[in-house]
């Protein structure tokens, strides 16, 4: 007889009566939850994300500066904000000073300050506080660049960081001198291009008044000099000072009531930076109706007063020049075309003139009186069109094509 029969109980009943005399099998192991993936982080330029932080600081500071200019600096549109692009250079210099990159601290500070200085000068250019032609004036300080490069090379060879930093200090001081002193000096200091062709001498030439001349055309082709033009009583005259081998020549002839006047230079000289300029003073007959006055000039400082002349068309092709042009009201219609590279140009027109200005510029600042209104284009970059209605005066159309220039229109 089996144990179950003898006892009269089954195994479950026995376990209930006697307790857990037989151990229950162990519970299966609970699988461990997979480890969660680490949170994604943006890539950085360094192990601790310094690149992203420094970039955020840079652009954040830039936005703060733009906002402050817009709030307190008179910026009224997104177009005006374009004038603040030099701030990129300024804050780039600041970032260079604050970012360790293997250079000694003193060298980083000097190099960063150099970038900041250049950016501030460019900011002054775009906002109209500093003429663009300051960079032409700075060209006369090219020996400082040579010195700075030499100091940098010596510092590298001797492993003297303070000497390398001195090279940047030299350039900063030269920049400051050009901005605050050199650009405001008269004559050659403003446009420091001159000539070398031996000794200089005074010269003069004139063609007498010719009553048969009713109309006329003028062509002036000169290089680096100081130039002036005004009304006179003879058909044409020139005078001034120039190298003996490069004295300007005057040629004037009248045929069928039309006068042809030309002034040219032989070109027997070498133009270079940092020398003094000659002078050329010219007059034209006030009784002649001049259909065209054309200037093809190089690096000149020019004052052309056409207010007492009847001129229908003015064409001026200039290089790095400082030009002041005054128009009159003797002609009913006046067409003015000016093209050049880096120049400072001031055009004065009668307040009564109905004037239209179309400026095509690379990187220039065009300023007009309050009586003018801008009818198209983008300041500083691109094309700009300005108009003034006038009040019974002549109709003047001015077309300006320039590179890096400072252009100002004035009324009188």
Q: What is the pLDDT of residues 58-67, one digit of tens each?
A: 667 667 766 6
For 283-306, letters b (16+ CB in 10 Å) and e give bbbbebbbbebbbebbbbbbbbbb
Which pTM value belongs to this model? 0.63
Q: In which band, very low, low, confident or very high, does the pLDDT at 98 lie, cut at 50, 70 and 90? A: confident
Nearest to 127 by CA among 92, 172, 80: 80
Of 115-129, 151-165, 247-261, 328-342, give the lowest mean pLDDT range.
Answer: 115-129
Of 170-174, 239-243, 335-339, 359-363, give the lowest mean pLDDT range.
Answer: 359-363
Q: In which band, very low, low, confident or very high, does the pLDDT at 80 lie, cut at 50, 70 and 90? A: low
- CA 359 from centroid of its chain's CA atoms: 15
Q: Would you say residue 196 has pLDDT above 60?
A: no
Q: In which band, very low, low, confident or very high, does the pLDDT at 348 lie, cut at 50, 70 and 90? A: very high
Q: In which band, very low, low, confident or very high, does the pLDDT at 347 lie, cut at 50, 70 and 90? A: very high
Q: Would you say residue 293 has pLDDT above 50?
A: yes
Sorted by where each begins, the domain ranges of the chain are 50-185, 195-411
Phi-psi group of 253: left, alpha or beta (phi > 0 → left; psi -120 to 50 → alpha; rest → beta): beta
What is the spatial distance between Cα 241 and Cα 278, in angstroms, rounded to a whole number? 5
């Amino acid at each position: 007889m089996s144990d179950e029969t003898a006892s009269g109980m089954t195994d479950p009943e026995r376990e209930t009566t006697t307790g857990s005399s037989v151990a229950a099998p162990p519970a299966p192991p609970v699988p461990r939850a997979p480890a969660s993936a680490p949170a994604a982080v943006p890539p950085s330029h360094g192990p601790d994300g310094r690149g992203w932080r420094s970039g955020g600081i840079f652009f954040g500071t830039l936005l703060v500066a733009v906002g402050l200019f817009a709030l307190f600096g008179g910026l009224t549109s997104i177009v005006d904000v374009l004038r603040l692009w030099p701030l990129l250079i300024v804050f780039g210099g600041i970032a260079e000073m604050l970012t360790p990159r293997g250079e000694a601290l003193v060298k980083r500070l000097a190099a960063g300050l150099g970038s900041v200085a250049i950016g501030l000068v460019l900011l002054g250019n775009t906002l109209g506080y500093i003429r663009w032609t300051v960079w032409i004036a700075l060209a006369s300080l090219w020996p400082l660049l040579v010195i700075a490069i030499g100091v940098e090379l010596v510092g590298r060879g001797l492993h003297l960081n303070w000497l390398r930093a001195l090279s940047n200090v030299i350039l900063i001081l030269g920049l400051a001198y050009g901005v605050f002193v050199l650009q405001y000096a008269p004559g050659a200091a403003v446009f420091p291009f001159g000539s070398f062709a031996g000794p200089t001498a005074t010269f003069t030439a004139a063609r007498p008044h010719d009553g048969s001349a009713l109309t006329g055309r003028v062509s002036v082709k000169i290089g680096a000099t100081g130039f002036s033009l005004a009304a006179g009583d003879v058909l044409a005259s020139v005078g001034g000072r120039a190298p003996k081998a490069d004295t300007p020549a005057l040629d004037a002839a009248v045929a069928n009531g039309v006068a042809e006047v030309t002034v040219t230079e032989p070109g027997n000289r070498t133009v270079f930076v940092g020398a003094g300029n000659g002078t050329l003073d010219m007059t034209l007959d006030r009784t002649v109706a001049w259909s065209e006055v054309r200037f093809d000039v190089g690096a000149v400082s020019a004052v052309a007063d056409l207010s007492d002349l009847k001129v229908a068309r003015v064409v001026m092709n200039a290089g790095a020049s400082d030009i002041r042009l005054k128009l009159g009201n003797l002609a009913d219609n006046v067409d003015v075309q000016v093209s050049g590279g880096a120049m400072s140009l001031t055009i004065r027109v009668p307040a009564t003139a109905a004037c239209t200005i179309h400026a095509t510029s690379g990187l220039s600042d065009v300023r007009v009186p309050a009586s003018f209104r801008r009818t198209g284009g983008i300041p500083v970059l691109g094309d700009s069109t300005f108009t003034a209605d006038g009040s019974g005066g002549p109709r003047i159309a001015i077309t300006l094509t320039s590179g890096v220039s400072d252009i100002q229109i004035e009324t009188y």
